[in-house]
Structure 1
Amino acid sequence: MSKALFTTVATSNNTPKGGYVKTEDGLIDLTLVNPLMKSDKTGSNPEQLFAAGYASCFDGALNFVAMKKKLKIESKTTAEIGFHNDSADKGYKMSAVLHVQLKDVSEEEAEALVEAAHQFCPFSKAINGNMDVEVNFEVI
């Protein structure tokens, strides 16, 4: 394994009554609630956290590849994470649909940037072959 450029640490604790997740620096400090369980508690869940991470990582990758091509763009990436039954092992699995909006590029440039970002994004690499991913884009 190569040397890490940086490391971040988060800890989660769950009980039947709920749980929490907190980063070492305290910037993320959230109550966790299972959306499939009936509860009056308000909180986040791993799928929301994954959606936030994937959206921000992909959008960063998109802007990085645009910068490398000397293109100045504005972009917005929305990650839609689905939670599904997995009939293969009677467990669960996730899917992702990325909705990408770009300004200041042609359709052809947008398509090339989105494809390059998908190949470059660490989240996309991490889930490649393990999760169904659909990437849509539009030039606005």
Structure 2
Amino acid sequence: MSRIEKVLFTGKTHTAATPRDAASRSAHGRLDIKTSASGSGTSQEQVFAAALAHPTAEQLFAGAWSACYISAIGVAAQQKKIELPPDLAVDLEIDLGQTGSAYFIEARFNVIVPGMDRAVAEGLVHEAHEICPYSKAIKGNIDVGVNVTV
């Protein structure tokens, strides 16, 4: 297992999940959001209503992972001296699902790289997964689909 030699940043949060105060707050005060637990209701309707009210863990994970991943695409492009289009975008969907009584997540990336050669774009997208710490953390643990749109 690889060890960190130099810590660049540490994000600290406190998350409470009580009926009155489900929230995540960061130590520096820049993050202070109400949250919803994906499986907090007893019915599909209650789960859906909770997810509409506040961000879920899946949405927060998608936001954090996609932000890291789009930066990794930038790093990969910079290493290869490739200019990225200004409208580069990453859409990421995180599904929470169940098989029997076990819960799982899976991810679907849609990477939009307008005007770029498909082979070059796909190469950068693949390399970004080798760079991004989130991608490395989940490698082999969850199903990840990737679609590249040029």
Matched, 1:125 2:128: no
Paired AA for residue 14 in structure 1? A
8 Å CA contact retained: 2:38, 2:57: no
The alignment covers a number of residue pairs equal to: 137
In the other structure, the counterpart of 1:26 is 29
Tell me by how many angstroms 1:71 deviates: 0.9
Matched, 1:102 2:123: no
Paired AA for residue 118 in structure 2? E
Tell me by how many angstroms 1:35 deviates: 4.1
Per residue, is there more helix in 1 or in 2?
2
Paired AA for residue 96 in structure 1? A
Alignment gaps of 5+ in structure 1 = none
Tell me by how many angstroms 1:105 deviates: 2.3
Per residue, is there more strand in 1 or in 2?
1
Which SS does the other structure have where 1:92 is aligned?
Answer: strand
The CA distance in 2 between the partners of 1:6 and 1:30, in whole Å, is 21
Alignment gaps of 5+ in structure 2 = none
In the other structure, the counterpart of 1:58 is 69
8 Å CA contact retained: 1:72, 1:104: no
In the other structure, the counterpart of 2:13 is 10
Which SS does the other structure have where 1:103 is aligned?
Answer: coil
In the other structure, the counterpart of 1:138 is 149
The CA distance in 2 between the partners of 1:101 and 1:128, in whole Å, is 22
Paired AA for residue 85 in structure 1? Q
Q: Name the Cα RMSD after superposition.
A: 1.8
The CA distance in 1 between the partners of 2:121 and 2:75, in whole Å, is 13
Which of residues 74, 82, 101 in structure 1 aligns to 2:95? 82
Identity %: 31
Using the size of structure 1 for normalisation, the TM-score is: 0.88
The CA distance in 2 between the partners of 1:18 and 1:44, in whole Å, is 14
The CA distance in 2 between the partners of 1:32 and 1:97, in whole Å, is 22
